[in-house]
Structure 1
Amino acid sequence: MSVEPLFSWPTRIYWEDTDAGGVVYHARYVAFMERARTEWMRSLGYGQERMRAEHGMVFAVRSMQMDFIRPARLDDTLQVSARLVQLKKASMVFDQQILRDGELLLSAQVRIAALDAASFRPRGMDEAVLAVLQPHLHPESEH
């Protein structure tokens, strides 16, 4: 089975996403990227509740580097992409982009840590989860 290494999730900009200047407030981009990663995991059969209930695990952002290139505005339709570029036992790294009509607005790299759902301490992912994620690792990853 051929696996597409890029996942894209659409989002629209509403009043609640904008600041007094009429552009998307910078922190909203973080939420858009989280939704794309969450929906990617859900598309693989691992929604947040399943991860917590069946595997006793949650994911948390460990670090994030973002490059704001152009602003998004009210009523824009955006594509938020997520590409898995590194996979380790207890963490993964995504390259993410936000585009409007093919124009790059933001690029980011996000490191996600696997945590125990009860203690919120770092832990390794179950082999079953790693086996589902591994085929989606971008083949040209050098991280």
Structure 2
Amino acid sequence: MSRDHDGGEAVFRWPIRVYYEDTDAGGVVYHANYLKFFERARCEMLRAWGFELDKLREREDLLFVVRAVEMDFLRPAKFNELLCVTTAIEQAKAASLVFKQTVWRGDEALCRAKVKVACLAAAAFRPKPLPDSLLRCLRGD
């Protein structure tokens, strides 16, 4: 896992191994499982930057919920392959985020996604601004 700059934007990389449970009868990753890969990478990115989701809920009354996902399936991933999920912040507003994510096999992009996430107060399920420290981190300030 790393945070580095690729073309001017911060990119987080997270390795993913394809397990048998991730595949369909043909031995390729079942399309819905890419959502799991993307979710794990977003969570690990926040963890790597010092923000634990359970602590944000407990201390800040903050939840993240997926509002929309656009995905493009480019190539199949197969059982036992070691992949890499990249995650970058495309947009960070006061109470919402847009992530650009890609699953890679080496230099080959397999699946791309744009994930829109809303920030909500855990107790009320109403929009809530991100803490300043997290917003600054996500914006790269």
What is the TM-score of this pair, normalised by structure 2?
A: 0.90
Give the distance between the partners of 2:139 and 2:55, measured in 1 at CA.
Answer: 19
1:111 aligns with 2:112: no
Q: Does the 8 Å contact 2:4/2:12 carry over to 1?
A: no
Q: Does the 8 Å contact 1:95/1:109 carry over to 2?
A: yes
One of 65, 70, 75 as aligned partner of 1:65: 70
Map of 1:122 onto structure 2: 127
Q: Does the 8 Å contact 2:89/2:139 carry over to 1?
A: no
Q: Does the 8 Å contact 1:3/1:135 carry over to 2?
A: no
| Per-residue deviation, 1:117 | 1.1
What is the TM-score of this pair, normalised by structure 1?
A: 0.89
Give the distance between the partners of 1:3 and 1:33, measured in 2 at CA.
Answer: 18
Map of 1:139 onto structure 2: none
Query: Could you tell me which amino acid in structure 2 is paired with residue 133 of structure 1?
Result: L
Aligned residues: 135
1:134 aligns with 2:139: yes
| Per-residue deviation, 1:3 | 6.0
**Can you list the C-alpha shifts for 1:4-24, whole angstroms capped at 9, x where unaligned?**
400010010011000112110
Map of 1:93 onto structure 2: 98
1:22 aligns with 2:27: yes
Task: After the TM superposition, list the runs of 4 or more consecutive aligned residues in structure 1 that deviate by more than 3 angstroms.
Answer: none
Q: Could you tell me the percent identity over the aligned residues?
A: 44
From the two aligned structures, give the one with the greater strand fraction. Answer: 2
1:32 aligns with 2:56: no
Q: Unpaired runs of 5+ in structure 1? A: 137-143
| Per-residue deviation, 1:125 | 1.2
Give the distance between the partners of 2:103 and 2:53, measured in 1 at CA.
Answer: 23
Give the distance between the partners of 2:33 and 2:42, measured in 1 at CA.
Answer: 15
1:44 aligns with 2:52: no
Give the distance between the partners of 1:70 and 1:134, measured in 2 at CA.
Answer: 31
Q: Unpaired runs of 5+ in structure 2? A: none
Of structures 1 and 2, the one with the larger relative CO (CA 8 A, separation 6+) is 1
